[in-house]
Chains A and B, each alone.
Chain A
Amino acid sequence: MDYNITVEKLGKAAYDLICGAKEPPTVHSVFTNAINLKYQEDYIITILPQNHSCGTQTIILSEATFKILRSSRLQAGESFEMDLKEWAKEDYVIDLTIPDKLYLNNELSITNNIKCCLDEMKCSSNQDGLASCLFGRENIYTKLLSTKLSQIDLHIIEQDESKLSDKLCSILGLGPGLTPSGDDFIYGVLSVLFYYNRLSGKSSDWLSLAAARISNAARNLTTVISYNMLRSCINGEFSEYIKNLLIGILYGNNVEPLLKKVLQIGSSSGADIAAGILYCLKILMIKEE
């Protein structure tokens, strides 16, 4: 196929995978706004159009290019023949690592930002998954969540990687969605812990261990797409909208538009990730108090 490809952004893991690939990927699944490519056994790279969040394993194309690509009627299992190496230019790789030269807001500002996010979520988020746990609303998924996550605050405070990962693993694959709500929630929790620890100058080694344990468990406990999402946590890299929201909450003051971007992810995924973020931040703020 001879297309003029315009790559807008590229995650680091996607770049490494494409450049190091010995065999072309196959098509894993094709959705309205996403094309998933499978590398080797279980690496997934997701191709998305503009206005979607770029994660470590994603490629963002211009809207027009994505439409052309999608109109080629790719089918699951087909080998992907386009010259991805040609697309994967280092210039497009965006930095998803945690910045280290910022100064945290004081606790009051962070608490205010959390409150602002909660208010926004209460009005406009999809609460079919775990997000309703923030507001004391029950559904069949949140009923399980409270029992599964009991005492998780202690494990976070104690930085007990083994107990924390066990707790979080107990909600792997739980709930609705292609990336089940529980996985999105975990992604949110881990993103906060990585940012908060690293930026507070604390060691993140225990956290990397916890993330690796969760990621390993995810291989058998959830969908392959979800597993790939969690796999990127091990290096403490999260998608750009998550990064922006966290920076907004921890350093900024105008969080509403940043949260709205996160809420746009998937159907309930954005809300579940945000729920994980706010749930964990509340624990950390209580701890600081």
Chain B
Amino acid sequence: MSSKCLIKKNSYYDSVTLMIITKEVEAVAGVENAVVVMGTEHNKELLDNVGLLNEETTAASPNDLIIAVKMKNDNIFEQIVQKVDELLNKKKTEAGEDYCPPTLDSAVKFMPDSNLVIISLPGQYAAAEAKKALLKDKHVLLFSDNVSIEQEKELKELAVERGLLMMGPDCGTACINNVPLAFANAVKSGCIAVVGASGTGTQEIMVQIDKFNGGISQAIGTGGRDLKAEIGGLMMIQAIKALAQDENTKVIVLVSKPPALEVAEKVLKVLKETGKKAVVDFIGGDEQLVLKYGFLPAATLEEAAYKAVQLCSKTYEEVLNSTAPDFTDSIELVDNMAKAEAQKLKPNQKYLRGLYSGGTLCDEALKLFTKEIGEIYSNIPLEPEYKLPENTTGYKNCAIDLGDDEYTVGRPHPMIDSYARQQMILKQAEDQEMAVLLMDIVLGYGSNDDPAGSLFNEIKRAKSEFEARGQYLCVVAGICGTENDPQDYAEQVRKLKEAGVIVMSSNAQAVRFAIKVLKEVAACQR
């Protein structure tokens, strides 16, 4: 039998905390006796009586906390110290702020009724924690990336086996029972569910649904690789099955990059079995396949949202041939604006430069641009030959996903920290051939508190540089956000306009406007 003690100098914890510590320490295997008392003279006498008085406890003052333990073997003392710190930390933070449990186990203990765990850890640790959470029968949102595809498959198979959702890895957006998780916007609740293998794609659809006066029942992220052949859409299928049971969900929207054919067929088959109406946006994917299963395809994220809202009150037949208007404003107004912008550009200005914080928004821009104009380079190109040459920040027409790994090493995502985009705007401004600078401004929970404000100075500086050269820079931004988002939508728009930015209410509209300007420029040159 050995005894050890821990002294917390001048430490005041309420009696409930001290009682909990006593019970928890006594519950550790191998502990014979635990005495948690203030270091008063009479308590020292008591410790002496039970053989727990030593030099340290003798030196304690009445305002010091003594945790004295008699145990079978003192190698468990470290575990006890850790336990005590955990408990004291918990109570300390409860008193002044939200409790931040240091481990998954303590989090689950703190909130045993929880049913979902969000994990954001370096990739090498993330999978193990996700597995632990699944084994505790908790749904998982795995924000982390750098989890191998083999690990992803193992986790998702485990989740399916236990009837759980395994959102991610690399899942940045979800909204479960109207609770936004990670990056998400404040949208109205309603009857439309979104299942997305794309974070900003899901956000843009949710936002546009809100703008078309629809509402969201659930938004479930699957992680970007879910529809690859290796994973086989395990989580998209699991999510669809869950939504089949959700009485609040009347319409389902799927959004993903084009999946492997066999995976797409599997997913669509399960979707069919739900008996619910659906819109499918396999961004740039096979529309005929979607139609074959009786669902509505969508060419853009905005159109997916539009059709989903329409489907809430109409039949497939009624919605099939309807499309979202190209612009919120009248086409005449937009044409005039585009012409006015184009006229300010000089003949040598002919290229589009897209600087995106959202990967799917960038991808949508590439697709719309390719369809209307042609080749466009990117760090996430549609075809390998349009890969942005190395060590270049801009090349001909290009759109860059600044959220891609190469730009986020050692720094936060550009939706949170605008530094990378600020630098990139200034770099691009050196290129006299740039005509249009295209951007996304993503609002919502988790995003930068003031994205427009954080880019304001750089946009102004870029415009000034063009002016100094006798040129003009057209800047276009699509806002992904709602009026209820914490950043104040109207104020964001005001700041952008003050910086001279043409503001559009969706990414698709922003891209279309940029295309219009470039077409005008080309027409003028002809």
Contact = CB atoms under 8 A, between A and B. Distances in A.
Contacts of B18: 176-178, 267
Contacts of B97: 71, 73
Interface stretch (A28-36, A97-105, A229-237, A241-249): A28-36
Contacts of A143: 49
A125 interface: no
B42 A170 contact: yes
Nearest to A266: B15
Given A70-B95, A175-B43, A222 B14 contact: no
A128 B22 contact: yes
B16 A29 contact: no
A173 B91 contact: no
B90 to A, nearest CB: 10
Nearest to B96: A73
A52 B43 CA distance: 28
Interface string B48-85: 01100000000000110000000000000000000000
Interface string A124-167: 00101000000000001101100000000000000000000000
A194 B18 CA distance: 31
Contacts of A266: 14-16
A31 B40 contact: no
Nearest to B12: A29
Contacts of A76: 12
Nearest to A169: B42
Given A32-B94, A222-B62, A223-B63, A175 B15 contact: no
Given A70-B95, A140-B49, A172 B15 contact: no
A182 interface: yes
Name the prevailing secondary structure of the B interface residues: helix
B514 interface: no
A173 B42 contact: yes
Can you list the 3 inter-chain pairs with the closest CB atoms, starting with the nearest? A173-B40, A267-B15, A29-B12
B298 interface: no
A221 interface: yes
B43 A174 contact: yes
Interface stretch (B30-38, B222-230, B382-390): B30-38
A171 interface: yes
A73 B91 CA distance: 13
A31 B95 contact: yes
B13 interface: yes
B421 to A, nearest CB: 33
B95 A220 contact: no
A267 B46 contact: no
Given A32-B91, A176-B22, A178-B38, A223 B14 contact: no
Interface residues of B, number: 28
A176 B42 contact: no
A224 B10 CA distance: 11
14 contacts: A30-B96, A128-B22, A143-B49, A144-B46, A173-B42, A173-B62, A176-B37, A177-B18, A177-B19, A180-B43, A221-B41, A221-B62, A223-B12, A225-B12
A267 B16 contact: yes
Given A29-B12, A34-B14, A172 B42 contact: yes
Contact of B15 (A29, A170, A178, A182): A178
Contact of A179 (B15, B22, B42): B15
A141 B33 CA distance: 13
Interface residues of A, number: 42
Contacts of B40: 172-174, 180, 221-223
A191 interface: no
Contacts of A172: 40, 42
Given A174-B42, A174-B43, A222-B40, A31 B13 contact: yes
Nearest to B92: A30
Contacts of A28: 12
Nearest to A74: B96
A50 B326 CA distance: 58
A268 interface: yes
Contact of B12 (A33, A70, A178): A178
Nearest to A269: B15
Interface string A202-226: 0000000000000000001111110
A47 to B, nearest CB: 13
Given A70-B95, A128-B22, A222-B62, A268 B15 contact: yes
Nearest to A178: B15
Contacts of A171: 42
Contacts of B96: 30, 70-71, 73-75
Given A31-B12, A140-B49, A221-B62, 6 more contacts: A31-B91, A70-B95, A144-B45, A174-B42, A177-B15, A224-B62
A141 B45 CA distance: 11
Contacts of B43: 173-175, 180
A31 B46 CA distance: 27
Contacts of B63: 223-224
A179 B14 CA distance: 9
A227 B41 CA distance: 14
